[in-house]
């Protein structure tokens, strides 16, 4: 009985419990990533996956007897910042994609064959706008 | 290593001008011609120097490490010089011819660039000192020839080019695999007269047989052995100098030369016989000779007929090698040169007919001997040489092959030669007869004069000179075959010196 | 020096051929054409015995020499070509394409002279081929359909002959181990080599059953060409036999009997078919077949009777010379049909020149024919031949009777074509050429008797002999019977070229088949439409498949599947 | 190890997983984002439970705060773009394989078809299961804590995490700053900010609140920065807090953003990286190794770097929130 | 007695990182002069790398001790971060420098708009710096960070033209990258949890075949496969590369993808080496065969020049996968693999640059309508052809040498008795044919008879750099021995 209790206690120690939770989050994120279409949701799913990773890392760091491993925590902090940067960039891309195409999902298919590809080295530029201007103005109804 | 620079110089005497020509603007005709002829002349001179050196018994060798344990080796032995001199001489002639042939046509820089590249590759093949080097130049040749085949840019030309590449690249891969395999087994040895695989014969007999088949498939496509030959007649859509190059100087020869190298210098004739490899090769060569002769008989298109004739004639070389006796090898090797000279004459003539009078079919040749006597004379010499009539080059070959067949105890090969000669006569005599004795009633249609104005001779001198030259050469090498420096004399030297076989004293 | 002399003989016509070919218009060059045979004649007459030369650098070593047999053949050949050449010069005077004729003439001449001097297999083959193939140009020169047909048959047989000869030579040289003709013969070619050599040379010699080019080619070719063809060129085959067959002390009974059989058969068949022909030159052609048959039989005898081979060979040679000159003269006679003189003395001379060679061939005493026949029959009396061969002498005489009849037939058919020349003036050059050849019918035996060359002891008795008369008489009777009983027709009862008709039927069928089998022009084929559609479909499928792969859920699933797969493989130790 | 804590852990984890599940399962994007922010806050709680207050702080500020703001403003922008397109082109919906309705309702993602359900679930379960198996087999931590502890005295700071971040593994931190910067460069390269619809936060509350919030945020930020050297806190957290303040400002006056001059702006965003790199190169030149400090100079240099980094991070975060390139940058 | 200059090696390594970072930071802070900074920086970094590699080759003759490790900030592992320079990283650094320099020169002509220049150069320089750091990193977590630097800047470069296709490709690319990175990071975390260290050398010493290592290997490999566009996870590649500006495509296909593959290789050579099983080799090999076939077929299908080239990358990476089972038989094969990557990167970059020039001249890159421009620009065709030959693996190019060595390894496997080795040999040999087919598709139109129209004028850089780089790719064959010998200076690797 004692042994069982000990095993349970061991299992439920944060050093194992949280990593397990992290693994679940990771799997959950992966599941969501596969299942959902909207790009924002996909970004959320990736963030949840990332959180899963951090949870594993912090859980592992907290496994020992003494104070938690500061290196792991530092790594997590770095990871979070990286994640937020990537998220911010991804969101910016999503906004621009929606602006250009009118939807925020990824279209399947190879970039064939008649898709107009613009060549930036040819474009005429005006002082007040970047290439994006032109793309957007083309995209919009006259 | 001292002599190595000579080999490199020979290689670069065409490569350098070739690359320079690529970057030459289209209109710099004079400079291009100068580069072309300069390169060709330099190469000829350098090969001459090398020839003298090898005759003296000097060693020439250049090596460059490519991979650990594997080197790029250029070496000059008598056999390589045979091929090198052939291509140097014929290249010179073909260059002159091509300059005349392409006068006024577009994209000549590209053409001559690749043309030079082709010849560099061919000389590289000739001077290769081991299989890997051989393979390298062999594949370069494949690639450099393709732009020439498709040079006209017509859909037919492109399709022909595609077929050519499909055949040659596939065979190249087979060859590649076989060579890597062989190198794994036996190491990256250089070509050794008598072969270097003796040590493996006991343990790896089956492997060696399989490898031989693979190697033959690899070389057989370029050498146009029969089930692998279909690209060659199709590649006829290329301009005449290219056909000449394909059939006489470079491509087909490269394949045949590869077979010679493999049989003589990799396996060695003895081992090849012991493993039963030559017998198979012999049968394939015989079938090729007869089959393609029959095909040649079936066509009315002059160049197509010539192409099938090439298929047949190149197999003479292989037949000789497969006989694997001294006389057979002499016959095979000497045909390497003889076929080249003779066939290039014929192709030049066909080109002249097409270029000067717009004639492509044998049935249109009636009476052409009166309009273009020199070309027709050259054609006649070439055709008779192909049939194997003395004193032309082809006879010397046939004679040695016949004797070689008997020497190797295979009299049925003589029957093949007889049949083939009959077939050769059957498809080569009609154009000759039509040309000299046929009657033409309507006036000639003159595309060349229409676009380039009247010519002093029967056609542009740059088209005429090569024809006359090679025809005369074909006559002389046969007539003076007994000279020491004639192809026959040189080949006998190879056989005596490198294979330690007694020459056949007549 | 010797070498240069020997080489000059065949080289001179070759050089001239090049010049004539390059400058077709030059009359002066044309006039030199006949005289290129002269050095050969001079050499035959004046050269010291044992003249020989070796050229190592030519081909695979060339050996030229003038031996007694060669001397006789050279004299015949050069003389005949000279006379015929002179004849041709005037006969071809108005031919717009005469320079072409001359080029082929010179080439064939070179070959013919050269093969006599050649003493090694390669050179022999070289000149033999040169002669055979160049003669094609002479045969088809007129450009008429008849000539083309004759040329085709001639060419096919010539090439076949070349090839067979080549194979035979290769086999023979291989077993001899060297290429000298004497060595080859000494090594006694046998088996296939022998068969090939006999056949290859036999085609040229008009041997049965490969004779049928002769009756086609002779009438089709211009007169002087027929003269040299029949007088000189077909002797090349004979010479080849004499040089290459194992005519030595051992002999060769089987071959000898075979040659006897073929030769005698040719002798009789030639007569039989010849007499039913209508064109004079065709008749002469069959006569040639018949006469060559006799010479073939002579070779056969030499093989059968090794002890007597020396005399027999000399006899055959003599016979060849005699026949060459006489037949040459007769062919020129055919070409003189338009020169029937108006004056009586002229007509007498004309008649004499006409009859002389004819009678010589028939074997009238004191003609060359008599001498030749006597010499040939000489050894027969001494030796005993087995079986049917014991009747050889009788058979030879019967053949002579046939010859007489055949020549009468010729004269008869020829007579109908006689006419006087339009301008009335005799063509002197033709007369000279013709006359000198005709005169040889009596001059030759005289010369031989007087000079008495080595190996050919000729007694005065050989010049005549009553045994020769009865066949001539028999021939006259036969001719009379023929003339009396057989109604003459304008088309021959047996078509010209007998066997050639059969061969040509087969040839025509082959040609039809060839037309059907003709290859399409060398165009690389486009991909068939069905395949192209398939390719498009495949392309579409690929695009669709890639689109499926591109779907995000596919990426995710594949990613997870990859992880799982990797994990499983890592577990599988 | 007491039961209550375990229970807390269990409940917390269940909550986290549940919220994440709901977030990913919701069809309404707004709801999903709100759930995600909740998820972030719950995570912060978990981090506290895992004795990682720094991370908790960062998670709250960055993970939940900044990310949440970014998500919300993105949703707002999407809605605006969609509305504009809809009004502009009523009859020509752009192509979309997932169905025409989904497009028009920008902030709605219909639940996916069932085709992928089973495989996705299987794979997720398998991957999760394998992960758990691997984790359960791991030994009790060895960790780097003792090593860090042993070197704290030469690190120049008192807080081990800061020591790791800015001294022992300064290279990582430097690159992390660089990543923030690259993300901004990337966002800027997509186009100017005026291409993107900017919507003011509705209502009068925000401007009023701002007046209160911004100073508080600045003070908090500076404190967190300063505290970083010895207690939980540091450049990133501080930068995030300052950035949040900036974001609020932007929200309040979206149309009247100060026309930031290009040069100084660029300098501002790259100041942290530049300074860090300068110090690093100096270390290399001075023989302490790249990104190394002399022991005595460690503390001031670290503080210097942190200050610059904080400013840059704050600026960068605000710029990322604006998303487009300021007009001044093109000048 | 160490050779001259060896003592400067550590400083040189750190200096390389510092230099490339400084260039990037400078360009970020001073965008107006970004292109000038970029050009000077490219030259400086290239020179630095070349000198560094020379010094390294001079200094480290012993393969066992050849690696130079630099403790950043003076903190040795496991506490601190170590930069790690060995034969493998030197090779890839030189490759990066060569391709980077070429790309920079090309971009001088290609990106000529003032505003675009300001966006392009900082991102590109960050990418380059990231690659340098990736190849020098010796720490698992730091690898993740450098990977992120590389991928974020790469994604930004893909998107920076701002067109719908580009942004759409970039989004896909970014999401895939994040997924891959997270997977990689999870692996790192697992390893850290097990061993408590992050340094690769220390990790290598501690790993044995356990569940953690196995799972970590799976996560990291799968993540990197995603990033390296290895079949069947390649689908992001064509859209991203196809719509990116030419120099970016060149770098992406030549270097970025290679970087991820480098990491796979480095991990399996070191940390995960004990885990490999024959089944693993076979699976990866089969994926490689799939990549060869599928990528080539897609390249034969695609209608746009750059799509063809992008799919060719998918196909060519198949060779690298096929090499895995060969490595299990003959571990030394890994050097061939790296040489192959180097050669491929050079060739692929030049093809992309040439494609960019053609696209610029024609205004589009639809193959069907490109004939006019191809005919008028033989130099580009030549570059395409030359690099194409290298891709086909035909002599005299570097591709041939690489192919030769691969085939040798494959046949060695067969000779060692592996039945499935026949498949690898067939794949290695047959892949060249497929490559020939799609290279022919690109080159053949220029030989067709028809109008020649040079189209838009292009700058000198755009005209010559592709050819120059293609020549380098072709001549790389001569550097075969050198490269293989350099790679031998990688401690730990077989």
Complete DSSP assignment for B46-58:
HHHHHHHHHHHT-
| Mean pLDDT computed over B251-280 | 88
The percent of residues in chain C predicted with pLDDT above 70, rounded, is 94
Instruction: Tell me which range, C171-175, C307-311, C475-479, E149-153, is most confidently predicted by mean pLDDT.
Output: E149-153
Check if B450 contacts C (Cβ < 8 Å). no
Chain E neighbors of B135, CB-CB under 8 A: 395
| Mean pLDDT computed over E371-376 | 86
- CA of A54 vs chain C CAs: smallest distance (Å): 20
β-pair partners for C180 = C120
Name the CATH topology of A2-110: Helix Hairpins (1.10.287)
Averaged pLDDT of chain D: 82
Substitution target in C539, C566, C572 with the highest count of E β-carbons within 10 Å is C566
The percent of residues in chain B predicted with pLDDT above 90, rounded, is 13
Pairwise CA distance, residues E82 & D290, whole Å: 11
The domain spans of chain A are: 2-110
Chain B neighbors of E395, CB-CB under 8 A: 135-137, 139-140
> Least CB-CB distance to E189: which of A56, A125, A130?
A56
Chains B+A touching (3+ CB pairs under 8 Å): no
Check if C164 contacts B (Cβ < 8 Å). yes
> Least CB-CB distance to C519: which of B298, B418, B506?
B298
Count how many pairs of residues, chain B against chain C, have C-beta atoms within 8 Å: 122
Check if E5 contacts B (Cβ < 8 Å). no
Substitution target in E28, E157, E193, E202 with the highest count of D β-carbons within 10 Å is E28
Pairwise CA distance, residues D246 & D252, whole Å: 10
Confidence of residue A138 (pLDDT cuts 50, 70, 90): very low
Of C550 and A108, the one with more pLDDT: C550
Check if E429 contacts B (Cβ < 8 Å). yes
Confidence of residue B446 (pLDDT cuts 50, 70, 90): confident
The domain spans of chain C are: 1-190+213-237
C-alpha B451 chain-centroid distance: 32
| CB spacing of D78 vs A104 below 8 angstroms | yes
Chains B+D touching (3+ CB pairs under 8 Å): no
What confidence score (pLDDT) does residue E133 get?
Answer: 94
| CB spacing of E477 vs B172 below 8 angstroms | no
Chain C neighbors of B483, CB-CB under 8 A: 57
- CA of C516 vs chain D CAs: smallest distance (Å): 60
Decide the pairing of beta strands C62-65 and C52-55. Answer: antiparallel
Check if E430 contacts B (Cβ < 8 Å). yes
Chain E neighbors of A50, CB-CB under 8 A: 182, 185
Of E55 and D253, the one with more pLDDT: E55
Count how many pairs of residues, chain A against chain E, have C-beta atoms within 8 Å: 163
| CB spacing of D138 vs E119 below 8 angstroms | no
**Would you say E233 and C562 are in contact if contact means Cβ atoms under 8 Å apart?**
yes
Per residue in D28-85, pLDDT tens? 888 899 999 999 999 999 999 888 888 898 898 887 888 988 898 888 888 888 777 7
Confidence of residue B436 (pLDDT cuts 50, 70, 90): confident
Check if C566 contacts D (Cβ < 8 Å). no
Tokens 């006039």, residue?
C31
**pLDDT of C205 above 60:** yes
> Least CB-CB distance to C570: which of E232, E236, E277?
E277
Per residue in C326-374, pLDDT tens? 889 988 888 888 778 878 888 888 888 888 888 888 888 888 888 888 8
Chain D neighbors of E145, CB-CB under 8 A: 172, 175-176, 179
For residue E78, whether the previous peptide bond is cis, meaning omega lies within 30 degrees of 0, is yes
Pairwise CA distance, residues C347 & C343, whole Å: 6
**Would you say C323 and C80 are in contact if contact means Cβ atoms under 8 Å apart?**
no
**pLDDT of D105 above 60:** no
**pLDDT of E223 above 90:** yes
Confidence of residue D235 (pLDDT cuts 50, 70, 90): confident
Decide the pairing of beta strands E82-85 and B70-75. Answer: unpaired
Chain A neighbors of D63, CB-CB under 8 A: 47, 51, 80, 83-84
List, in order, residues 6 or more apart from E217 with CB less than 8 Å away. C566, C570, E187, E267, E268, E271, E272, E275
Write the DSSP symbol of residue A122: G
First to last CA, chain A: 78
Pairwise CA distance, residues E106 & E353, whole Å: 8
**pLDDT of D100 above 70:** no
**pLDDT of E349 above 90:** yes
Per residue in B71-100, pLDDT tens? 888 888 888 888 888 888 988 888 889 888
Check if A82 contacts E (Cβ < 8 Å). yes
**pLDDT of B204 above 70:** yes
- CA of D110 vs chain C CAs: smallest distance (Å): 15
Check if E440 contacts C (Cβ < 8 Å). no
Check if E59 contacts B (Cβ < 8 Å). no
Q: Give the pair of three-digit tokens for residue E5.
A: 């200059």
Q: Give the pair of three-digit tokens for residue C194.
A: 């022998």
State how far the alpha carbon of C71 is from the alpha carbons of C6, C51, C78, C433, D138, in Å: 12, 10, 10, 22, 113
Which ranges of E111-139 does DSSP label H, i.e. alpha helix?
114-136
Count how many pairs of residues, chain C against chain D, have C-beta atoms within 8 Å: 20
State how far the alpha carbon of E122 is from the alpha carbons of C272, C529, D266, in Å: 110, 53, 11
The ipTM, to two decimals, is 0.88
β-pair partners for D28 = D108
> Least CB-CB distance to E448: which of B68, B158, B177?
B158
| CB spacing of B162 vs E448 below 8 angstroms | no
Substitution target in B391, B412, B421 with the highest count of C β-carbons within 10 Å is B391
Per residue in B130-187, pLDDT tens? 888 999 899 999 888 898 888 888 888 888 888 888 899 999 999 999 998 988 888 8
Neighbour subunits, E (≥3 Cβ pairs < 8 A): A, B, C, D
Chain B neighbors of E430, CB-CB under 8 A: 173
CB atoms under 10 Å from CB of C319, counted, come to 23
| CB spacing of D109 vs A96 below 8 angstroms | no
**CB within 8 Å of chain C, chain D residues 106-135:** 112, 116, 119-120, 123-124, 126-127, 130
State how far the alpha carbon of B388 is from the alpha carbons of B176, B313, C512, C536, E490, in Å: 36, 11, 28, 51, 64
Confidence of residue E107 (pLDDT cuts 50, 70, 90): very high
**pLDDT of E427 above 80:** yes
Chain D neighbors of C553, CB-CB under 8 A: 112, 116, 120
pTM over 0.80: yes
- CA of C562 vs chain A CAs: smallest distance (Å): 14
What confidence score (pLDDT) does residue D199 get?
Answer: 58
| CB spacing of E306 vs A120 below 8 angstroms | no
| Mean pLDDT computed over C281-303 | 88
| CB spacing of D109 vs A36 below 8 angstroms | yes
Check if C565 contacts D (Cβ < 8 Å). no
Upper half-sphere CA count for residue E395 (Cβ side, 13 Å): 21
What confidence score (pLDDT) does residue C111 get?
Answer: 92
**pLDDT of D254 above 70:** no
Pairwise CA distance, residues B51 & B85, whole Å: 8
| Mean pLDDT computed over C212-239 | 88
| Mean pLDDT computed over D96-111 | 53
| Mean pLDDT computed over E383-400 | 87
Q: Is the dihedral of CA D202, D206, D208, D210 positive or negative?
A: negative
| CB spacing of E162 vs A78 below 8 angstroms | no
Least confident window among A61-65, C6-10, C489-493, D122-126: C489-493
> Least CB-CB distance to C59: which of B233, B295, B481?
B481
Confidence of residue E153 (pLDDT cuts 50, 70, 90): very high
Least confident window among B147-161, B280-294, B486-500, E236-250: B486-500
What confidence score (pLDDT) does residue B498 get?
Answer: 67
**pLDDT of D299 above 50:** yes
Least confident window among C485-489, C505-509, E48-52, E451-455: C485-489
What confidence score (pLDDT) does residue C454 get?
Answer: 62
What confidence score (pLDDT) does residue B300 get?
Answer: 83
| CB spacing of C518 vs B437 below 8 angstroms | no
């Amino acid at each position: 009985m004692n042994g069982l209790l000990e095993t349970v206690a061991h299992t439920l120690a944060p050093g194992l419990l949280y990593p397990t939770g992290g693994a679940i989050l990771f799997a959950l994120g992966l599941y969501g990533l596969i299942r959902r279409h909207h790009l924002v949701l996909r970004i959320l799913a990736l963030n949840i996956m990332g959180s899963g990773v951090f949870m594993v890392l912090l859980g592992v760091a907290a496994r020992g007897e003494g104070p938690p491993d500061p290196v792991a925590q530092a790594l997590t902090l770095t990871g979070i910042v990286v994640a937020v940067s990537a998220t911010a960039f991804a969101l910016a891309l999503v906004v621009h994609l929606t602006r250009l195409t009118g939807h925020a999902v990824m279209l399947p298919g190879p970039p064939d064959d008649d898709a107009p590809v613009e060549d930036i080295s040819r474009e005429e530029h005006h002082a007040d706008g970047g290439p994006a201007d032109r793309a957007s103005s083309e995209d919009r109804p006259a | 290593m001292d002599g190595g620079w000579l080999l490199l110089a020979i290689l670069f005497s065409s490569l350098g001008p070739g690359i320079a020509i690529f970057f030459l603007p289209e209109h710099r005709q004079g400079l291009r011609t100068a580069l072309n002829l300069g390169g060709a002349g330099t190469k000829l001179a350098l090969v001459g120097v090398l020839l003298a050196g090898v005759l003296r018994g000097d060693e020439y060798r250049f090596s460059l490490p490519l991979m650990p344990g594997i080197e790029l080796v250029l070496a000059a032995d008598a056999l390589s010089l045979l091929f090198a001199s052939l291509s140097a001489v014929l290249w010179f002639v073909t260059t002159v011819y091509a300059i005349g042939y392409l006068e006024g046509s577009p994209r000549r820089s590209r053409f001559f660039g690749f043309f030079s590249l082709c010849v560099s590759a061919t000389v590289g093949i000739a001077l290769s000192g081991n299989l890997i080097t051989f393979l390298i130049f062999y594949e370069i040749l494949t690639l450099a020839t393709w732009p020439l085949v498709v040079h006209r840019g017509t859909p037919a030309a492109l399709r022909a080019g595609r077929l050519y590449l499909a055949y040659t690249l596939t065979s190249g891969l087979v060859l590649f695999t076989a060579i890597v395999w062989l190198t794994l087994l036996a190491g990256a040895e250089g070509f050794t007269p008598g072969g270097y695989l003796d040590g493996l014969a006991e343990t790896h007999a089956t492997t060696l047989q399989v490898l031989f088949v693979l190697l033959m498939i690899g070389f057989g496509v370029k050498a146009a052995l029969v089930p692998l030959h279909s690209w060659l007649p199709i590649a006829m859509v290329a301009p005449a100098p290219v056909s000449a190059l394909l059939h006489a100087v470079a491509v087909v020869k490269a394949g045949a030369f590869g077979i010679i190298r493999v049989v003589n210098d990799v396996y060695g004739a003895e081992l090849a016989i012991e493993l039963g490899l030559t017998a198979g090769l012999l049968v394939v060569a015989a079938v090729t000779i007869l089959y393609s002769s029959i095909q040649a008989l079936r066509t009315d298109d002059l160049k197509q007929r010539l192409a099938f004739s090439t298929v047949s004639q190149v197999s003479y070389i292989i037949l000789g090698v497969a006989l694997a006796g001294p006389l057979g090898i002499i016959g095979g090797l000497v045909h390497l040169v003889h076929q080249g000279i003779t066939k290039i004459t014929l192709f030049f003539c066909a080109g002249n007919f097409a270029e000067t009078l717009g004639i492509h079919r044998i049935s249109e040749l009636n009476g052409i001997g009166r309009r273009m006597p020199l070309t027709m004379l050259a054609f006649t010499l070439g055709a008779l040489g192909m049939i194997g009539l003395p004193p032309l080059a082809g006879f010397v070959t046939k004679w040695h092959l016949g004797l070689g067949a008997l020497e190797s105890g295979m009299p049925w090969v003589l029957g093949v030669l007889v049949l083939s000669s009959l077939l050769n006569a059957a498809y080569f005599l009609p154009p000759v007869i039509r040309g000299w004795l046929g009657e033409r009633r309507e006036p000639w249609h003159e595309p060349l004069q229409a676009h380039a104005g009247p010519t002093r001779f029967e056609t542009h001198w740059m088209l005429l000179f090569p024809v006359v030259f090679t025809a005369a050469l074909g006559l002389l090498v046969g007539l003076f075959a007994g000279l020491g420096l004639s192809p026959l004399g040189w080949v006998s030297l190879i056989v005596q010196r490198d294979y330690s076989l007694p020459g056949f004293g007549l | 020096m010797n070498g240069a002399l020997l080489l000059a003989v065949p080289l001179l016509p070759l050089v001239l051929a090049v010049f004539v070919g390059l400058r077709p218009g030059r009359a002066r060059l044309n006039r030199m054409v006949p005289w290129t045979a002269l050095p050969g004649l001079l050499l035959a007459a004046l050269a010291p015995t044992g003249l020989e030369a070796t050229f190592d650098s030519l081909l695979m070593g060339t050996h030229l020499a003038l031996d007694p047999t060669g001397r006789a053949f050279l004299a015949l050949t050069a003389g005949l070509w000279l006379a015929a050449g002179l004849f041709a010069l005037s006969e071809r005077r108005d031919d717009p394409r005469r320079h072409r004729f001359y080029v082929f003439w010179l080439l064939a001449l070179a070959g013919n002279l050269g093969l006599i001097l050649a003493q090694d297999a390669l050179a022999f083959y070289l000149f033999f081929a040169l002669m055979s193939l160049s003669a094609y140009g002479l045969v088809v020169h007129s450009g008429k359909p008849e000539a083309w047909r004759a040329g085709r048959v001639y060419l096919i047989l010539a090439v076949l002959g070349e090839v067979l000869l080549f194979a035979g030579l290769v086999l023979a040289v291989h077993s001899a181990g060297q290429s000298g003709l004497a060595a080859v013969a000494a090594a006694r070619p046998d088996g296939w080599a022998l068969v090939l050599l006999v056949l290859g040379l036999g085609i040229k010699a008009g041997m049965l059953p490969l004779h049928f080019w002769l009756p086609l080619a002779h009438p089709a070719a211009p007169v002087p060409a027929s003269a040299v063809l029949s007088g000189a060129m077909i002797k090349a085959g004979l010479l080849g036999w004499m040089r290459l067959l194992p005519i030595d002390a051992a002999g060769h009974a089987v071959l000898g009997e075979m040659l006897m059989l073929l030769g005698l058969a040719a002798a009789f068949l030639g007569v039989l078919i010849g007499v039913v022909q209508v064109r004079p030159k065709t008749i002469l052609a069959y006569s040639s077949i018949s006469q060559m048959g006799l010479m073939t039989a002579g070779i056969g005898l030499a093989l059968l009777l090794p002890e007597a081979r020396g005399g027999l060979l000399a006899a055959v040679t003599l016979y060849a010379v005699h026949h060459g000159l006489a037949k040459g003269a007769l062919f020129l006679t055919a070409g003189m049909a338009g020169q029937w003189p108006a004056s009586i003395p002229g007509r007498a001379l004309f008649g004499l020149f006409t009859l002389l060679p004819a009678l010589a061939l028939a074997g009238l005493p004191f003609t060359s024919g008599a001498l030749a026949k006597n010499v040939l029959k000489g050894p027969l009396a001494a030796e005993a031949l087995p079986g049917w061969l014991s009747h050889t002498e009788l058979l030879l005489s019967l053949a002579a009777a046939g010859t007489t009849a055949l020549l009468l037939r010729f004269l008869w058919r020829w007579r109908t074509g006689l006419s006087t020349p339009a301008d009335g003036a005799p063509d002197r050059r033709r007369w000279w050429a013709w006359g000198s050849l005709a005169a040889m019918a009596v001059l030759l035996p005289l010369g031989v008797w007087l000079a008495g060359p080595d190996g050919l002891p000729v007694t005065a008795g050989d010049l005549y002999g009553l045994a020769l008369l009865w066949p001539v008489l028999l021939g006259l009777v036969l001719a009379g019977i023929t003339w009396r009983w057989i109604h003459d027709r304008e088309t021959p009862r047996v078509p010209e070229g007998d066997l050639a008709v059969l061969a040509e039927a087969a040839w025509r069928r082959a040609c039809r088949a060839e037309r059907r089998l003709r290859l399409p022009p060398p165009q690389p084929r486009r991909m068939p439409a069905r395949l192209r559609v398939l390719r498009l479909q495949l392309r579409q499928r690929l695009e669709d498949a890639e689109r499926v792969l591109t779907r995000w859920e596919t990426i995710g699933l594949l990613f997870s599947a990859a992880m799982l797969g990797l994990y499983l493989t890592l577990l599988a130790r | 190890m007491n039961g209550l804590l375990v229970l807390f852990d269990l409940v917390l984890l269940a909550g986290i997983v549940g919220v994440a599940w709901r977030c990913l399962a919701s069809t309404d994007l707004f709801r999903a984002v709100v759930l995600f922010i909740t998820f972030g806050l719950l995570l912060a709680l978990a981090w506290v439970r895992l004795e990682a207050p720094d991370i908790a702080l960062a998670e709250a500020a960055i993970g939940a705060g900044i990310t949440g703001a970014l998500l919300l403003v993105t949703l707002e922008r999407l809605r605006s773009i969609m509305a504009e397109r809809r009004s502009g082109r009523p009859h020509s919906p752009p192509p979309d394989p997932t169905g025409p309705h989904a497009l028009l309702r920008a902030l709605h993602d219909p639940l996916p078809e069932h085709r992928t359900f089973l495989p996705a679930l299987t794979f997720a379960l398998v991957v999760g299961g394998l992960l758990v198996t691997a984790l359960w087999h791991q030994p009790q931590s060895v960790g780097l804590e003792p090593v860090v502890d042993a070197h704290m005295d030469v690190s120049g700071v008192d807080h081990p995490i800061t020591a790791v971040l800015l001294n022992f593994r300064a290279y990582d931190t430097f690159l992390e700053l660089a990543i923030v910067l690259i993300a901004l460069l990337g966002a800027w390269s997509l186009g100017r900010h005026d291409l993107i619809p900017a919507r003011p936060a509705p209502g009068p509350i925000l401007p009023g609140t701002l007046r209160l919030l911004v100073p508080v945020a600045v003070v908090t930020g500076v404190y967190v920065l300063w505290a970083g050297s010895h207690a939980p806190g540091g450049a990133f957290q501080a930068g995030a807090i300052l950035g949040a303040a900036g974001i609020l400002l932007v929200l309040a006056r979206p149309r009247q953003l100060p026309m930031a001059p290009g040069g100084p702006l660029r300098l501002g965003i790259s100041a942290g990286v530049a300074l860090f790199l300068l110090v690093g190169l100096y270390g290399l030149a001075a023989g302490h190794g790249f990104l190394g400090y002399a022991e005595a100079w460690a503390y001031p240099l670290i503080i210097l770097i942190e200050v610059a980094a904080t400013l840059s991070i704050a600026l960068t975060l605000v710029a990322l929130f604006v998303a487009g390139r300021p007009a001044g940058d093109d000048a | 007695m160490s050779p001259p200059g060896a003592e400067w090696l550590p400083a040189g390594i750190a200096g390389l990182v510092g230099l490339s970072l400084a260039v990037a930071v400078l360009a970020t802070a001073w965008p107006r002069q970004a292109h000038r900074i970029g050009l000077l920086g490219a030259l400086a970094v290239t020179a630095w790398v070349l000198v560094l590699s020379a010094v390294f080759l001079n200094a480290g003759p012993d393969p066992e001790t050849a690696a130079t490790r630099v403790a950043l900030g003076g903190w040795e592992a496991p506490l601190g971060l170590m930069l790690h320079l060995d034969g493998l990283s030197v090779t890839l650094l030189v490759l990066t420098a060569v391709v980077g320099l070429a790309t920079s020169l090309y971009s001088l002509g290609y990106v000529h708009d003032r505003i675009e220049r300001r966006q392009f150069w900082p991102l590109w320089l960050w990418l380059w710096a990231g690659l340098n750091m990736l190849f020098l990193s010796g720490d698992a977590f730091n690898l993740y960070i450098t990977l992120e630097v590389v991928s974020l800047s790469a994604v930004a470069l893909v998107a920076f033209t701002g067109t719908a296709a580009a942004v759409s490709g970039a989004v896909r690319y970014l999401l895939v990258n994040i997924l891959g990175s997270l997977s990689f990071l999870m692996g790192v975390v697992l390893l850290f949890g097990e061993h408590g260290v992050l340094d690769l050398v220390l990790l290598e010493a501690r790993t044995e075949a356990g569940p953690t290592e196995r799972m970590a290997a799976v996560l990291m490999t799968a993540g990197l496969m995603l990033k390296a566009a290895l079949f069947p996870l390649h689908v992001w590649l064509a859209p991203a590369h196809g719509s990116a500006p030419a120099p970016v495509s060149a770098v992406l296909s030549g270097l970025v993808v290679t970087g991820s593959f480098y990491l796979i290789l480095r991990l399996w050579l070191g940390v995960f080496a004990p885990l490999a099983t024959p089944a693993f080799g076979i699976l990866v090999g089969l994926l490689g065969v799939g990549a060869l076939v599928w990528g080539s077929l897609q390249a034969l299908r695609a209608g746009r020049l750059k799509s063809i080239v992008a799919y060719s990358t998918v196909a060519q990476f198949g060779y690298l996968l096929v090499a895995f089972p060969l490595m299990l038989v003959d571990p030394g094969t890994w050097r061939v693999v790296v040489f192959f990557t180097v050669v491929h990167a050079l060739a692929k970059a030049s093809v992309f640059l040439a494609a960019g020039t053609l696209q610029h001249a024609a205004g589009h890159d639809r193959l069907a309508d490109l004939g006019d421009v191809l005919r008028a620009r033989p130099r580009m065709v030549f570059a395409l052809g030359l690099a194409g030959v290298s891709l086909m693996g035909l002599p005299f190019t570097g591709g041939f040498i690489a192919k030769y060595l691969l085939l040798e390894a494959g046949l060695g496997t067969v000779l060692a008795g592996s039945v499935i080795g026949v498949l690898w040999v067939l794949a290695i040999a047959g892949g060249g044919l497929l490559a020939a087919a799609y290279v022919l598709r690109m080159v053949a139109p220029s030989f067709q008879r028809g109008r020649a129209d040079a189209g838009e004028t292009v700058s000198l850089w755009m005209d010559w750099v592709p050819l120059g780089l293609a020549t380098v790719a072709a001549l790389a064959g001569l550097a075969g021995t050198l490269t293989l010998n350099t790679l031998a200076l990688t401690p730990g690797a077989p």
